[in-house]
Amino acid sequence: MGAALGLALAGTLAALAGCVKGSRGDSLAINADRTRFTVEVSGITREGALHIPPDYDGSAPYPLVFALHGATGTGELFRAYGFDRLADELGFIVAYPDGIGRRWDAPTDNAFFEAMIAGFSKRLSVDPQRIYLTGHSAGAIESYTLALAMPGRFAAIAPVAGLLSDGAIAYEPQPVSVLHIHARDDESVPFTGVPQWRLLSAQDSVDFWKELNGAVSGPEPLFDTPGAEGTIWRGAGHDTASLFYASGGHSWPREATEAIIEFFYSHPARTATVAVDAAAVPFAAAVGSTIVLGIATDRPERIAKVTYYVDGAEIGSTETAPYALSWKASGNGIVRFSCEAALTDGTKARSVRAPATVVTATAGKERGGAPKQPEKIAIAGARSSSAQTEGNAAANAADGDPHTRWESAWNDDEYVELDLGSVRALAGALLEWEIAFSKEYAIELSEDGAAWRQAALITDGAGNAEYVPLEGRTARFLRVRCLKRGTEWGNSLWEITVLGT
**Which pLDDT value is given to residue 7?**
43
Nearest residue to 154 via CA among 122, 126, 177: 177
Are 418 and 356 contained in the same domain? no
**What pTM did the predictor assign?**
0.84
Residue 367 lies in a domain: no
Angle between helices 109-123 and 138-149 (to 10 degrees): 80
Return d(Cα 76, Cα 50) in angstroms, integer: 9
Q: What is the mean pLDDT of residues 7-15?
A: 47
Pair 343, 304: CB distance under 8 Å = yes
pLDDT digits (tens, 9 = 90+) for 418-431: 999 999 999 999 99
Q: Is-contact 92 86, C-beta < 8 A?
A: yes
What is the pLDDT, as a whole number, of residue 71? 93
pLDDT tens, residue by residue, 271-330: 999 999 999 999 999 999 999 999 999 999 999 999 999 998 999 999 999 999 999 999
**pLDDT band at 173; cut points 50, 70, 90:** confident
Q: What share of the chain in percent tops pLDDT 70?
A: 94
Are both 248 and 290 inside the same structural domain? no
Same domain, residue pair 200 and 324: no
Assess if residue 433 is contained within a domain: yes
- Owning domain of residue 467: 375-500
Same domain, 216 and 258: yes
Pairing relation of β-strands 126-136 and 62-68? parallel
Shared domain check, 298 and 401: no
- Residue 9 near residue 190, CB atoms below 8 Å: no
Question: pLDDT at residue 16 above 60?
Answer: no
pLDDT in tens, 93-120: 999 999 999 999 999 999 999 999 999 9
Higher pLDDT residue, 25 or 73? 73
Checking if the pLDDT of 205 tops 80, the result is yes
CATH number (domain holding residue 416): 2.60.120.260
Q: Is residue 493 part of a domain?
A: yes
Q: How many domains does the chain have?
A: 3
Q: Are residues 341 and 460 in the same domain?
A: no
Average pLDDT over residues 182-202: 95
CB-based contact 25:118 (threshold 8 Å):
no
* Residue 409 to residue 350: CA distance in whole angstroms: 41
Model pLDDT for residues 259-272, shown as the tens digit of each residue: 999 999 999 999 99
Q: What does the pLDDT look like over 54-84, one tens digit per residue?
A: 999 999 999 999 999 999 899 999 998 999 9
